[in-house]
Amino acid sequence: MTSSSVSSVSSALAPYGWDDAWAAEFAPYDTEGLLPGRVIRVDRGQCDVVTAGGILRADTAFVTPHDPMRVVCTGDWVAVEPGGNPRYVRAYLPRRTAFVRSTSSKRSEGQILAANVDHAIVAVSLAVELDLGRIERFLALAWESGAQPVVVLSKADLVPDAVTLSHLVQDAENSAPGVPVVPVSSVDGDGLDVLAAIVGGGTSVLLGQSGAGKSTLANALLGEDAMTVQATRDADGKGRHTTTTRNLLALPGGGVLIDTPGLRGVGLWDAESGVGQVFSEIEELAERCRFHDCAHEAEPGCAVLAAVDSGELPERRLDSYRKLLRENQRIVAKTDARLRAEIRKDWKRKGAIGRAAMEAKRGPHWRS
């Protein structure tokens, strides 16, 4: 590639996140005459790729193995053939980040939702009661992906009382340590400038349930009705999936946005460190427990349980922490025979401790 063509590629792809590091990764494919581009949409084994020469339609069969973790996905940087019918994506560049959830498959497979994401925007509608547990679940996946999470409380205009809105923001912040929480109204524009500043650098992905207002937020950031918006039910804030594929869009103020379909299920996929970041205060408390392998159930000297008793730690947070850790452990165990054996051994140990504690409470003569 000549210096002028390199400059042309850089200027054309820079709005989509192309930089010198990506150019260096692509160098081996450049010698083969392949074109660099970013996947902006994947649909039934084919994808749309934005290149310096425009948007190309390409087949992903060449690089789509049986492993669903290695399929081409929205946000990937790829090497695509300059011509051919059909035209093929020959490879994708190593991902900097990947947002992965578990599928409903009995084989416990991971599904990649988006790649090379800098910010994961978790959209939560204020049209219904805040589901703090769901926020924590999304945040665990976001942290595990390597992206910086942001919680957006959408439809803030539906909460006209400033005090009530402040309490809702505080509840979300307590469930999202270290994460910005931004109330936003696409109707009156409140909070959009803050959100635009966050997404203005790098690539952001919009996540949330159907009816969370993701497409409306996308349109507000784009300044046009690029995404179809449908009415949601008043009773539960849910609606039909207005976005059916993952679309990558360059924002007029800078940055790139990936809009995703509403996610009914967000199962964890090997997200132990992500769970730990969501519940960082529990992890810090656990360091003060008497036993290093404390399960925070009934062990003596448990700093976590002491914090619950004193009111320092809400019991809801501990319950949510336990739930997500158990779920993640089950997912990992399905593909790890050694871990399954360790879990069974741990269950037996805890069962024996529990029975011993119960017998001690009942006294030496309870069987008679």
CA distances from 192 to 26, 29, 161, 187, 189 (A): 35, 40, 19, 10, 6
- Percent of the chain at pLDDT exceeding 90: 49
pLDDT at 260: 76
Q: pLDDT category, 104, cuts 50, 70, 90?
A: low
Q: Please provide the DSSP assignment of 217-274 as one string.
A: HHHHHHTS--S------TTTS----S--S-EEEE-TTSSEEEE----S--B--S-HHH
Q: What is the pLDDT of residue 149?
A: 94
Summarised one tens digit per residue, pLDDT across range 237-284 is 444 444 446 789 999 989 999 987 655 555 555 667 888 889 999 999
What percentage of the chain has pLDDT greater than the value 70?
A: 75
The pLDDT of residue 242: 45
Does 351 have pLDDT greater than 70?
Answer: no
Q: Which pair of tokens denotes residue 60? A: 């992903």
Q: Residues 191-236: pLDDT tens digits?
A: 999 999 999 889 999 988 777 788 889 898 988 665 544 444 343 4
What integer pLDDT is reported at residue 334 of this predicted model?
62
Tokens of 169: 């923001």
What's residue 230's pLDDT?
Answer: 41
Q: Which of 275, 274, 257 is nearest to 195 (CA)?
A: 257
Which among 250, 254, 313 has a CA at the least distance from the CA of 281? 313
Q: In degrees rounded to 5, what are phi and psi of residue 79? A: -110, 115
In the numeric block, which tokens belong to residue 195? 């959100």
* Closest to 38 in 3D by CA, of 27, 29, 28, 47: 47
| pLDDT at site 229 | 44
pLDDT at 2: 57
pLDDT at 356 over 80: no
How far apart (Å, rounded) are the C-alpha atoms in residues 89 and 106?
Answer: 30
Task: Please enumerate in sequence order all residues whose Cβ is within 8 A of that of 167, keeping only pairs 6 or more positions apart, or say none.
Answer: none
Mean pLDDT, the chain, rounded, equals: 81
Judged by DSSP in three states, 85 sits in coil
Residue 148, pLDDT score: 93
Per residue in 90-101, pLDDT tens?
Answer: 999 999 998 887
pLDDT at 339 over 50: no
Pairing of strands 247-250, 256-259: antiparallel
How confident is the model over 21-30, as pLDDT tens digits?
A: 999 999 999 9
Rg from Cα positions in the chain: 24
How is residue 95 annotated by DSSP?
P
Is it the case that residue 3 has pLDDT exceeding 50?
yes
d(CA 223, CA 225): 7
Q: How many Å apart are CA 204 and CA 337, to the nearest integer?
A: 36
DSSP β-bridge partners for residue 243? none
